Copies of this chain bind each other. A is one copy, B any other.
């Protein structure tokens, strides 16, 4: 598996699983009805922010991450990031590799910490992965997320120093 910066052309391969994940509405606080062009604006960031893709030996895209400063001005030293793994390629360590990559990139860019603002408490797979990688739950917004089947559930704020 290789992780490289995304190019504009990658969106065609990201969109199908981006659409699958955002339309399901179970994990992200993105608009649920994003179409292909709106979705591009939400995911494909420009420098100094970044979007990367994880690809296999054949060049197929397995997952993607984006990273940006979480706040501006005197809060701009904390990064944030989001991750999507193509469900067809789950269980292969793609998510872990993407998180580790963004931690390295954030460190290289001089960020002092990484923060996730909105991790659905029901997304236990992600919460466990983040915790294994050094994040802790700083706090939980009660009923901050409206899961389509579970109803209102907590929304974690997670953080780790770099």
Contacts and interface: CB of A to CB of B under 8 A. Distances in A.
B157 A72 contact: no
A76 B113 contact: no
Contact of A73 (B31, B75, B76, B113): B31
Contacts of A146: 74-75, 77
A112 B75 CA distance: 27
* Copies of the chain in the assembly: 2
Nearest to A42: B72
Interface string A137-161: 1111111111110001001010101
Interface of A: 22, 25, 28-32, 71-78, 112-113, 115, 117-118, 137-148, 152, 155, 157, 159, 161
A74 B115 contact: no
A143 B22 CA distance: 32
Contacts of A30: 72-73
